[in-house]
Structure 1
């Protein structure tokens, strides 16, 4: 018995010794493996500078466990390698397979642009693999199906190609599979029906084709499906209605067609649905109203028809409803105004009629309302900005009538107001100029009257103002063109009177100025030339007089200049044709005279753009007659005499002033002048 005990002890010690040797050998090998991996990397930011094994380091066999990104277990064996966000490039060495106990491998958010080594398939103990946010190319390594404990794969945002790895269907422990944003092709492998623990499936942004397989409806653990931005076709499988844990469904941007299945109404946990930019048709199923957890519903840019189901008004958690660019008809359900969480409502480009809910925005934090390009009527709801969250109000191309609600002009959150092409009447309520975030104010083609409020001129944020095609009768506010960020100002086709405010020295951003078809008068201010970014200037059909300012010829970006149908006189500035950017010039129907310059654009100008000026000749028009030349010569002499006389007059005035100051000395000055 004693002999047996001794033999047992000897055997145990022998095995322990062998294990110790093997462990030490394994640890030493792993340090070497890590250095081999480092050789393949380009570490431009020097994150891995501590990856070194000097003589001293070899005495401490576990030194590599303290290296950046390396994590060991209690036996000194590498289990986790996290090299994420280190600006690494180069390649992943095939020696990665020698880290036999590796369970976590993360190289996300780097700049790798090579292929992943096939040897990764030998890492059978992997539980998490993250190679996302790189530029990896080639096929995704096959063989990882043997890593039976693998739970997490993120390979999103790369340039992988080929087919989805079919053997991953063997990894029944998989909970998250993310292959978004690459160039995978083909269909979803049927083997994926085995992934009963899968909660996240992300395949969007690839080149996948075929139909969405109905077998996905068997993956009862699924919480998120993201398959959009592919080329899937056919209908949505009705089996998806069996995914009782589904919370997020994204099938946007594809070639899906047919009707939206009513079975989706069974998904009580669903909070987000993106089906936009497909070819769905038919009516929106009323069963959508049963998904009481729904927060986001986007069915835009399809071929949906019929009315908006009133049942959507039951979605009390709904924050975003986007049905734009479909073929919807009928009225907007009044119940939408009762949704307490609604922030975004987009219904534009349909054929909707009737009124908007009168309490829209009154009971919700409404931020964005776009119902443009429909046939909606009635007045604009008065309380759209009750929560002071409204940023964008877009109602153009409808038949709204009545006044602009006063509450809008005090809505400090507004960024855009686009109400053009309606029948809105009354005056612009004061206050829009005091809205510090307002960038666009578009009220064109309505029946507005009265004055342009002076406070608009005090705005520090407006960049686009379009008040054209209304019935404004006032003059322009004196500093309207001094708004610091103003890029476009359009007030054409009104009844504006008075002169152009001479404030152009303060228009650093102005690129478009359209004052055409009004009753403006006076001269064109020469200071307009200080608008260095002005591209288009349209002053046609007004009552401007005087000469064309010569300074206009020096404007560096002016491309379109229309001064037609005014009462401008004098000569065409001889350098206007050589303006740096001028492409379109119309001076017709004024009182201009003299020879047309023959430089630049005036060489090829259409005679119609000079018509209606009886005194013009030469260039693109018939040649000037001798009598015209003599008349012009006499006029130049006359102008010269006027200038000389003006200078002499000034000279005498100065002398008289001097005489007054000097008293008796004036006689001497006068005598000396006579002698001279």
Structure 2
């Protein structure tokens, strides 16, 4: 028995150097091949910043210095594991030689200037875990073959110009967690086979030319946290089965051709923070079950054909910051509970058929920034609490039946940028202080029953660009320095009861383009200093009691296109 053992040991030790040499030789060949592949890749690139200047052939082919090249990372065996060429302003072609880097786990070409196509196939990357070619201008069809990469977890090809169908073979890469193909020109339908990707957390397909129905199979993606497939031409209804996506936090189905009713089953998505359904053809009522979406922060159902009342249950959404229901067929009152929403910042109700008053305490409990309830049939007084949070920037209430005075609190709301309350039934006087608001750009109060005088402090503004006080009952004279507001572009106060002359204060009016003081009781002549307003395009003074001639300098103004000065006798 001893002799066979001795022969075995002899055989083992005799063969050991040969085995080590074989392994060493194989490693050298691999390094040599990878260096060759990298240099072939570089030869196809346009590198204006010389970011890859250190990619040079080594003196010894067995030298593994390529592992220290810019953007190259190797594993413990000296094989290229990571290739990160992102943010280098590269362009040109990606050579097929990239597939010779068999040990790649990460390939990142993000944020360059590529406008060519990728290799037709990216098969054979058995270790590839992450692929990022986003933020380029790659063209052509997306490569096939990635479905054969069992370790693949991330595919990001967003922000390119890919065409053709979505890569269906990705459904074979069952470890995928992120697929981001947004912002290209992919066509055709969403593959139903994507429903097999049970580990998928992010699916982004928005901003393409996708058509067809939303596959109900997507409801099987129970790990999904974000589903962003809007800005396509998808048709049909929203699958009620989406109510089974219990981990979903972000659902964007906006801008498409989706129709039918909004499924109430979406009300089961307790983790949902964002729901965008705007600009579709959705019908029926807003499900009252949405009141159960306790985590919801953003809800946008605007630009649809949704009808019926606004569900009072929406007032239960205590985390809600944005509620956009504009451009629908909603009717009935604005739920009183909206005034108790503690985080509400944006409330868009424009262009519906809503009636009744706004909640009396709207804005009192929140940091309301934007309220647009224009083009409805709302009535009652404008709530005095709208700016209690000191963050209100845009107040848009035109084309309603609001009555009563303008809330005095608005004159101290230093955050205001726009006030648009024309075509209501507001009465009383314009409160003083509006001209002192440092950010106010637009003040539109036309078509009401306002009386009294134009507040003199409006002349003090350094931000107003558009003022429309037309069609009211304003009296007395025009404040003397009102046309010297440095940012003023348009001032309209027609169809009032203004008296006196036009203030001769036009020396500093660098931006004034339109002036309408028609149909008042103004007297005197047209100030010659008006000619200093070289940008005036439209000047309307008709329907007053003015006398004298039109100054020659005004007739010679270079931009003046419309001049109406006919007076009444």
TM score, norm. by length of structure 1: 0.82
1:230 and 2:207 matched: no
Matched, 1:28 2:18: no
Give deviations 1:598-646, integer Å, cap 9, x for gaps.
Answer: xxxxxxxxxxxxxxxxxxxxxxxxxxxxxxxxxxxxxxxxxxxxxxxxx
Deviation readout 1:380-430 (Å, 9 max, x if unpaired): 000111110101000000000111111111001111000100011111111
Q: Secondary structure at the match of 2:82?
A: strand
Is 2:193–2:217's contact at 8 Å kept on the other side of the alignment? Answer: no
How far apart, CA to CA, are the structure 2 residues paired with 1:289 and 1:412?
34
Structure 2 equivalent of residue 468 of structure 1: 470
User: Which secondary structure does the structure 1 equivalent of 2:467 belong to?
Assistant: strand
Instruction: Report the equivalent of 1:629.
Output: none
Pairwise CA distance, 1:75: 2.1
> Which protein has the larger Cα radius of gyration, Structure 1 or Structure 2?
1
SS of the counterpart of 2:15? Answer: helix
How far does residue 59 in structure 1 lie from its aligned partner after superposition? 7.5
Cα deviation digits, residues 71-93 of structure 1 (max 9, x gap): 11122211111111111111111
SS in 1 for 2:186: strand
Q: Structure 1 392/102 Cα, relative in aligned 2: closer, same or farther at 3 Å? A: same
- Could you report, residue by residue, the CA deviation over 1:161-184 in whole angstroms, capped at 9, with x for unpaired residues? 111111111110011111111111
CA-CA distance at 1:119 after TM superposition:
4.0
Contact 2:222 2:244 (8 Å CA) reproduced: yes
In structure 2, the residue matched to 1:91 is 93
Q: Which runs of 5 or more structure 1 residues have no equivalent in the other structure?
A: 568-676
Q: Is the 8 A contact 2:31 2:62 kept in 1?
A: no
Q: 1:43 is matched with which residue?
A: 47
The answer for the alignment partner of 1:311 in structure 2 is 313
Greater Cα offset, 362-371 or 38-47: 38-47
Q: What CA distance in whole angstroms lies between the structure 2 residues aligned with 1:88 and 1:185?
A: 28
Select the residue among 376, 380, 383 that pairs with 1:381.
383
Q: Does 1:218 align with 2:220?
A: yes
Q: Could you say what secondary structure the match of 1:352 adopts?
A: strand
Q: Does 1:365 find its partner at 2:339?
A: no
Alignment partners' CA distance in 2, 1:361 and 1:103: 52
- Higher helix residue share: 1
Aligned length: 565
Aligned residue number for residue 520 of structure 2: 518
Q: Distance in 2 between matches of 1:71 and 1:169?
A: 29
Kindly state the Cα deviation for residue 54 of structure 1 after the two structures are TM-superposed.
5.2
How far has the Cα of 1:489 moved from its partner? 0.5
Aligned to 1:437: 439
Question: Is 2:21 the partner of 1:17?
Answer: yes
Task: Give 1:280's match in structure 2, choosing from 279, 282, 288.
Answer: 282
Structural mapping, 1:604-623, within 5 Å = none
For residues 211 and 295 of structure 1, the distance between their equivalents in structure 2, rounded to whole angstroms, comes to 27
- Counterparts of 1:566 and 1:527, CA distance in 2: 23
**What displacement does 1:9 show?**
2.3
Query: Compared with structure 1, are the counterparts of its residues 97 and 491 closer, same or farther at alpha carbon in structure 2 (3 Å cutoff)?
Result: same
Aligned to 2:499: 497
Is 2:125 the counterpart of 1:101? no
* Deviation readout 1:120-167 (Å, 9 max, x if unpaired): 223232110111111111111111110111100011111111111111
Structure 2 CA distance for aligned equivalents of residues 416 and 37 of structure 1: 55
Report whether the alignment pairs 1:243 with 2:245: yes
**For residues 545-560 of structure 1, what are the structure 2 equivalents within 5 Å?**
545-560=547-562
CA–CA separation in structure 1 for the residues paired with 2:227 and 2:65: 44
Shift of 1:60: 7.9
Contact 1:96 / 1:119 at 8 angstroms: preserved in 2?
no
**What is the rounded CA distance, in whole Å, between the counterparts of 1:490 and 1:6 in structure 2?**
107
Q: Is the 8 A contact 2:399 2:424 kept in 1?
A: yes
Instruction: Identify the residue that residue 256 of structure 2 maps to in structure 1.
Output: 254
Conservation of the 8 A alpha-carbon contact between 2:506 and 2:532: yes
Aligned to 1:3: 7
Query: Structure 2, unaligned stretches of length 5 or more?
Result: none
Secondary structure class of the residue paired with 1:13: helix
Distance 2:449 2:70 in 1: 70
C-alpha deviation, 1:463, in angstroms: 0.6
Superposed displacement of residue 194, structure 1:
1.2
Distance 2:412 2:395 in 1: 14
TM-score, normalising length from structure 2? 0.97
Query: Which of 66, 77, 84 is the aligned partner of 1:82?
Result: 84
Contact preservation (8 Å) 2:206, 2:228: yes
Given that 2:29 and 2:62 are in contact with CA atoms closer than 8 Å, whether structure 1 keeps it comes out as: no
Structure 1 runs (4+) deviating above 4 angstroms are: none
Query: Are 1:458 and 2:426 matched, yes or no?
Result: no
Aligned-partner Cα distance in 2 for 1:59–1:184: 43
SS at 2:123's partner residue? helix
| Aligned twin of 2:122 | 120
RMSD over aligned Cα, in angstroms?
Answer: 1.2
Alignment map for 1:120-519 (pairs within 5 Å): 120-519=122-521
Equivalent pair of 1:105/1:130 in contact (CA under 8 Å): yes
RCO (CA 8 Å, sep 6+): is it higher in 1 or 2? 2
Q: Does 1:69 align with 2:93?
A: no
Contact 1:545-1:566 within 8 A present in 2 as well: no
Q: 1:523 to 1:149 in 2, by over 3 A?
A: same
